[in-house]
Amino acid sequence: MAVLEIRDLHVSVETDQGTRQILKGVDLTIRSGETHAIMGPNGSGKSTLAYTIAGHPRYTVDSGSITLDGADVLEMSVDERAKAGLFLAMQYPVEIPGVTVSNFLRTAKTAIDGTSPALRQWVGDVKTAMTNLKMDSSFTERNVNEGFSGGEKKRHEILQLELLKPQIAVLDETDSGLDVDALKIVSEGVNRAKENTGLGVLLITHYTRILRYIKPDFVHVFVAGKVAEQGGPELADRLEAEGYDRYVEANA
């Protein structure tokens, strides 16, 4: 049973125009087995929240805290956070030329577990996970994200989620750019991970359509760097009907 707690989080970035505050007091608590949807307009700071949880060096935490089961996440390096059980499925996964998917997955698994996986078992696990995500087996010999279509990149992120078995996953617009078939496949992957490992999910999205396949327990409306309203799944239906205008205007 894991708990990720974010308290009064303020985050800024350095830009050419000087320091810019993006997160302005975020409070969130995510427990194992829970799915939290974070919905908000473009530019509201959703990816900033995701990157800050993962420890991207570009973002400066000015105040507030992030803890995982009481341990100070902000004190951890990026790889320590992953080893502690945090996972970020990125909105824009990065290409790594010359590094094959197979090599990458094995290296990551070894790092997370602290010991290299038993070969036969591992090869079988990778194969099964790829079949479930309808990924061709030739995929493992391609270089990480190089020349992948948008849909392939997102499947590859979910493949890692299923193989690395984190406790809490942040999915940053995993639905964007996916056609309905790919959206279903990716959603099924997330649901499998929830079922198999009791994964806690922070599902960042701009649209409600992924929520048809991954059912949120809580919905948080994110506007101008903080949570403007929260509720249950019904809040998503309301956003579907009304959009974000109400919040954006209230904020302006």
Partner 1 sequence: MSSATTAPATAGANKNMHGATSIVPVQTRNERLASFDVADFAAVTGREVDWKLTPISAISDLLDSSIDGSQLPLDISITGSASVTWVSMNDAAVGSVGTPEDRASAIAWSSTQDALLIDVHADDVSEVSVSRSGLGAAPRAAHTVIRVAPFAKTTVVLTSEGEAALSENVEIIAGDSSHVTVISLQEWSSTARHLASHFIRTEKNATVTHTVVSLSGALVRVNPQTRLAGEGSSVNMLGLYFADSGEHLEQQVFVHHEAAQTKSRVNYKGALQGTGARTVWIGDVLIGPHAVGTDSYEQNRNLVLTEGTRADSIPNLEIKTGDIAGAGHASATGRFDDEQLFYLQARGIDEATARQLVVRGFLNEIVQQITVTSIAERIEAALDRELEGIA
> Angle of helix 150-164 relative to helix 180-197, nearest 10 degrees?
10
CA distance 6 to 28: 5
CA distance 143 to 145: 6
Sequence-separated (6 or more) residues with CB below 8 Å from residue 40: 46, 206, 221, 222, 223, 244
Is residue 98 a contact residue for partner 1 (CB under 8 A)? Answer: yes
CA-based nearest residue to 171, from 12, 29, 39:
39
Six-digit token string for 23: 């997160």
- Closest CB 21 distance from Mg ion, rounded Å: 17
Is residue 57 a contact residue for partner 1 (CB under 8 A)? Answer: yes
Is residue 107 a contact residue for partner 1 (CB under 8 A)? Answer: yes
- Closest CB 56 distance from ligand ADP, rounded Å: 9
CA distance 169 to 108: 16
Among 10, 31, 56, 142, interactor with partner 1 by CB under 8 A: 56
Among 12, 32, 35, 47, interactor with ligand ADP by CB under 6 A: 47
Residue among 111 and 248 whose Cβ is closer to Mg ion: 248
The residues of the shown chain that bind partner 1, judged by CB under 8 A, are 54-57, 77-79, 81-83, 87-88, 90, 93-99, 103-104, 107-108, 111-112, 143, 160, 164
Residues that bind ligand ADP (CB under 6 A): 13, 15, 20, 22, 40, 42-48, 58
